[in-house]
Structure 1
Amino acid sequence: MDAITLGFPNDLEGRSIDKKERSFCIVACGLLAVVARNHAHGRRSASNRQVTPRKTTPMNSQNSDSFQRFHLDPSDDGSVLERALKKRLSDWSWGQVRESIRRRKVQVNGNLCLDPVRKVTSKDVIKLWKESLPKPIEATDIRIAYVDEFLVVVEKPAGITSVRHFEERNLSEKRRQLQPTLEELVPLALMHHFQDKSHWNKPQINDDENSGPKRTKRIPGTPREFKDIKSEDRRNLEHRLKRYNVIAVHRLDRDTSGLMLFARTPSIAQGFIEAFKHHKVIRKYHAVVHGHPQQQTFNTTLIRDRGDGHRGTKPPEIQTPDPTEQQAITHIRPLETIGPYSLIECQLETGRTHQIRIHLAEAGHLLCGDAIYSKKADGTIVQDNSGAPRQALHSATLAFAHPISNEKLEFKMSWPSDLHRWLSKLRLNAPR
């Protein structure tokens, strides 16, 4: 008895009911109300009871006051997230494992994961948190710095992937909606920016004066909200969203914040790709690192696997060509000394994956908050006591010539609030 509807009809199957029947209805409704109240109380009591899983000793785990950490092993290659967790939490039910994922308590390699069937490998590290983590980024969290009919510049928040990885291109819509990419949310953000509410926010005419006003619809802020709307309205919205489609012409790491450029047509996108290739787009990042690096240029050859599954510089003693090798050039300039740390500017000449992070870590100046490259290729762990809430890397400046007018455009973005607060605290506690 999950739902009981109590009604007092004036007619039944088109006929009137007499006083005796009405009295019977009153008694019956009263009894049903008591049953419903007791049933609801029982359900509330059961739902309020916290089910604590039996104590387990997970394999290969490290615990803290707020989370458990699990390092996967070769037996997990080809498995999925929920199975890897269940393997380590043998006393948990499958329902408890899936609920912990659904409630935003699970991270893979430092990133929130809401997909229970995400594939995992022996290189992955899973964190299981006691409390739920913040909700994923929504379209309304994305600020548009500049937009015209040819391009869009957005201020990317940390915690969202720029574009869908190639191996995820064929994911079902349901799985995409669990964690949308920035490229997938920008069209909705543009719709909010332009306040394009044609049809979507039109008040509905209500002919029944006694039924009260109907709720006005709004533009959905997430793909999940987009899915939940009526099919007719959804088709209308899909048609309008095509006007706001964008193409990413470069990427930022998931936990890197800052300025990011999108093209609005394929031809403009191709033009920007060529501009990046010929170093005509200026990209400057702000970073906080360990130590006190001097102004210098890093020019190395990066390969996809340096020997431990992570990207890194190809050792000079290895002469054999590597099909994944790419030249990477980063110019750095110190801006401020903050105790044992430094605020620096990094200007990219090339744009390889993790380029800045690799160059800094290999030079002995680990990026504060970088959980991946704190581990060297030989397995040595570099201690990071900076307390950074995430990797302290921010795309601060983006400059380029407009693809049509050739006008020089330059955009700047200051530190977002999470890193700004941390940096203020770091300065306050720095030795004088």
Structure 2
Amino acid sequence: MPSKYQIQVKDEKGRLDKFIAEEINDLSRTRIKELIQDKNILVNGKSAKVSYKIQSGDQISVTVPKLKPLNAEPEDIPLDIIYEDQDVIVVNKPQGMVVHPAAGHPDHTLVNALLYHTKDLAASPEGFRPGIVHRIDKDTSGLLMVAKNSKARKSLESQLAHKTNKRQYLAIVHGNFGEDAGAIDAPIGRNPYHRKKMGIVDNGKNAVTHFKVLEQFKKYSLVRCQLETGRTHQIRVHMAYIGHPVAGDPLYGPRKTLKGNGQFLHAQVLGFKQPSTGEWLEFKVKPPAIFEQRLTELRRNK
């Protein structure tokens, strides 16, 4: 059954979408926009635009249809597979691809492509993320390890939990550094004022990022970040926290930044023990062309 809400505007002001987001905490702005466009949100019995300015006395009705259960289906999408054996797949995820189906991204994900590539993926409790033991953001490129069976899943998850694997990222960040290296130890949790953001919060989960400055340019720097923990948006949040947000980051960075397809963050190195043999495996991939292009320009203008 759909959920229904009746809201009367008293003395509030502002846009319709923002008002509803504040009134109904479970709805994201993106979801609210979809509901408005589908005429599931009515003002005084009529459809309205997202930008409608609410007025005192407005009667707003909100109908939230029940979302269809997520179900990953195979899709013939090209994959850049770096390594594969009977237990694991190492894939170089392109910038712009979501790792697994989620609300707003029901298909065309890495999982959809993996299901077309192989029938051997470790089952997941949710059903829509088989094989996935860790993630990188949609607009972050680079290496991911994928489990092909339950034994491999347990091994890889244990390595992540005990911090025995290796995950290094390249990032172009704003500003220059006075030090060559450092460590950021600051707890990360959901930003209480912005649903889509994470932040440094007192009751957040322990998060540690080590960084090394590789090159410095005019207004930007190239850094290597190594994860000790793996929190959502960890590098993006931590670098912004110390005053060096990742270039191109639409969520945590400034508007005036390097032109690209999102944040200039690339999972360059991935290392772990092979689940069956215990052999150490390590892989390294180059950043995408847009990343290399911007680096070349920064070096030229150094």
Confirm or deny a common fold (TM above 0.5). Answer: yes
Aligned CA distance change for structure 1 residues 424 and 416 (closer, same or farther; 3 Å): same
What is the CA deviation profile of residues 171-192 of structure 1, one whole-angstrom value per residue up to 9, with x for unaligned ones? 9xxx83xx3321221132x35x
Counterpart residue number, 1:345:
224
The answer to whether 1:326 aligns with 2:171 is no
Distance 2:85 2:245 in 1: 38
TM-superposed CA distance for 1:418, in Å, is: 2.4
Aligned Cα root-mean-square deviation (Å)? 2.8
State the SS of the aligned residue for 1:161: coil
TM-score (structure 2 length as normaliser): 0.72
The answer to whether 1:182 aligns with 2:110 is yes
Counterpart residue number, 1:127:
none
Distance 2:246 2:289 in 1: 18
Q: Which structure has the higher relative contact order (CA within 8 Å, separation 6+)?
A: 2
Aligned CA distance change for structure 1 residues 270 and 383 (closer, same or farther; 3 Å): same
State the SS of the aligned residue for 1:276: helix
Aligned CA distance change for structure 1 residues 267 and 144 (closer, same or farther; 3 Å): same
Counterpart residue number, 1:196:
none
Distance 1:88 1:424 in 2: 44
TM-superposed CA distance for 1:244, in Å, is: 5.4
Distance 1:267 1:362 in 2: 38
The answer to whether 1:88 aligns with 2:49 is yes
Counterpart residue number, 1:394:
266
1:346–1:356 Cα contact (<8 Å) kept = yes
Distance 1:82 1:349 in 2: 38
State the SS of the aligned residue for 2:278: coil
Distance 1:139 1:118 in 2: 29
2:17–2:50 Cα contact (<8 Å) kept = no
Aligned CA distance change for structure 1 residues 395 and 74 (closer, same or farther; 3 Å): same
Q: 123, 137, 144: which one pairs with 1:253?
A: 137
Q: Decide which structure has greater helix share.
A: 1
Aligned CA distance change for structure 1 residues 367 and 352 (closer, same or farther; 3 Å): same
Counterpart residue number, 1:296:
182
Q: Percent identity?
A: 31
2:155–2:275 Cα contact (<8 Å) kept = yes
Distance 1:305 1:289 in 2: 22
2:120–2:149 Cα contact (<8 Å) kept = no
Distance 2:265 2:276 in 1: 31
Distance 1:143 1:85 in 2: 37
Matches within 5 A, 1:417-432: 417-428=289-300, 430-431=301-302
Counterpart residue number, 2:157:
273
The answer to whether 1:146 aligns with 2:83 is yes
Distance 1:340 1:139 in 2: 42
- Worse overlay, 255-264 or 402-411: 402-411
What is the CA deviation profile of residues 189-235 of structure 1, one whole-angstrom value per residue up to 9, with x for unaligned ones? x35xxxxxxxxxxxxxxxxxxxxxxxxxxxxxxxxxxxxxxxxxxxx
- Worse overlay, 144-153 or 73-82: 73-82
Q: 283, 286, 290: which one pairs with 1:411?
A: 283
Counterpart residue number, 2:193:
307
For 1:390, give the aligned amino acid. G
Distance 2:144 2:187 in 1: 25
TM-superposed CA distance for 1:154, in Å, is: 0.3
Matches within 5 A, 1:40-119: 72-75=17-20, 77=24, 78=27, 80-85=32-37, 87-88=48-49
The answer to whether 1:264 aligns with 2:148 is yes
For 1:183, give the aligned amino acid. V
Structure 2 gaps, min length 5: 1-13, 39-47, 52-64, 68-74, 123-129
Distance 2:184 2:66 in 1: 36
1:80–1:118 Cα contact (<8 Å) kept = no
Distance 2:292 2:150 in 1: 36
Distance 2:279 2:76 in 1: 29
1:368–1:388 Cα contact (<8 Å) kept = no
1:331–1:348 Cα contact (<8 Å) kept = yes
TM-superposed CA distance for 1:420, in Å, is: 2.0
TM-superposed CA distance for 1:353, in Å, is: 0.3
Aligned CA distance change for structure 1 residues 341 and 139 (closer, same or farther; 3 Å): farther
2:20–2:32 Cα contact (<8 Å) kept = no
TM-superposed CA distance for 1:421, in Å, is: 2.2
Structure 1 gaps, min length 5: 1-58, 61-70, 91-116, 120-137, 192-241, 316-321, 375-381
Counterpart residue number, 1:35:
none
Counterpart residue number, 1:161:
98
TM-score (structure 1 length as normaliser): 0.52
Q: What is the total number of aligned residue pairs between the two structures?
A: 244
Distance 1:149 1:308 in 2: 42
TM-superposed CA distance for 1:372, in Å, is: 0.7
Distance 1:279 1:396 in 2: 17
For 1:159, give the aligned amino acid. G
For 2:152, give the aligned amino acid. I
Counterpart residue number, 2:241:
362
